[in-house]
Chain A
Amino acid sequence: GAVVSQHPSRVICKSGTSVKIECRSLDFQATTMFWYRQFPKQSLMLMATSNEGSKATYEQGVEKDKFLINHASLTLSTLTVTSAHPEDSSFYICSASFGTGLNQPQHFGDGTRLSIL
């Protein structure tokens, strides 16, 4: 149980392209979804938190207009990297949790490796 599917797993595109990444909870309703960025050999950095039907809450230093997050349903959240540039290349990971209890773990997708040429 608690499977999170992230798609695509890898994207290579030209600078200036916008890229959409999908995160789906397959067997549970995700009250909250999270988007992380991970640089090589580093830990995960939280970018934003989204609740279904609400605007995402971004962490300090994360550009809202660059990283658009939509959480339209309890099973789907999308991250769109707009006008991507080489410095946006990274490993992006989503996670989802059911309920608001502190004891609820986050379940992670397999990540998307984004490479901007």
Chain B
Amino acid sequence: AQSVTQLGSHVSVSEGALVLLRCNYSSSVPPYLFWYVQYPNQGLQLLLKYTTGATLVKGINGFEAEFKKSETSFHLTKPSAHMSDAAEYFCAVKYVIQGAQKLVFGQGTRLTINP
């Protein structure tokens, strides 16, 4: 079965520090990968996506992610954390299952920013 694993349900960093949120996936075919952010009581906002081409993908709010096929990873990074980055982050992989497209989410990582 296809799956997405986010290492660390909770990550805490200081303001200005590097943010690294980990995501690994299992897939027997080339994946389509997404990172979403969710603020409290809101839906999900697309941060970035990888489909084909350049493996380093830049998204909104200064985030970027690198697709590493050999490691089956798609980790999300931001060089300098801001207080407004505090939120829940979801990694997702899109698959075709029995002819239907499905977006499979990781369990989420809650990012806390310390002043």
Residues of A whose CB lies within 8 Å of any CB of B are 4, 6, 9, 32, 34, 42-44, 46, 49, 57, 91, 93, 95, 100, 102-103, 105-111, 113
B77 at the interface (CB under 8 A from A): no
**Are B36 and A108 neighbours in the complex by a CB distance under 8 Å?**
yes
- For A100, the chain B residues whose CB sits under 8 A away are 101
Q: Which residues of A contact B108 (CB under 8 A)?
A: 42-43
Contact of B96 with A102 in the complex, beta carbons under 8 Å: yes
Contact across chains for B107 and A107 when beta carbons are under 8 A apart: no
Q: Which residue of A lies closest to B51 (CB)?
A: A103
In the complex, the answer to whether A111 meets B41 with C-beta atoms within 8 Å is yes
Q: Kindly state the separation between the CA atoms of A111 and B38 in the bound complex, as whole angstroms.
A: 11
How many residues of chain B get a CB closer than 8 Å to chain A's CBs? 23
**Is B94's CB under 8 angstroms from A93's CB?**
no
**B83 interfacial by beta-carbon distance below 8 Å:** no
With A42-B108, A43-B108, A44-B90 as given contacts, are A106 and B43 in contact (CB-CB < 8 Å)?
A: no
User: Is the beta-carbon distance between A108 and B43 smaller than 8 angstroms?
Assistant: yes
Known contacts: A34-B103, A43-B105, A108-B36. The answer to whether A4 contacts B51 by CB under 8 A is no
Once A42-B108, A93-B44 are accepted as A-B contacts, the answer to whether A102 and B94 lie under 8 Å apart by CB is yes
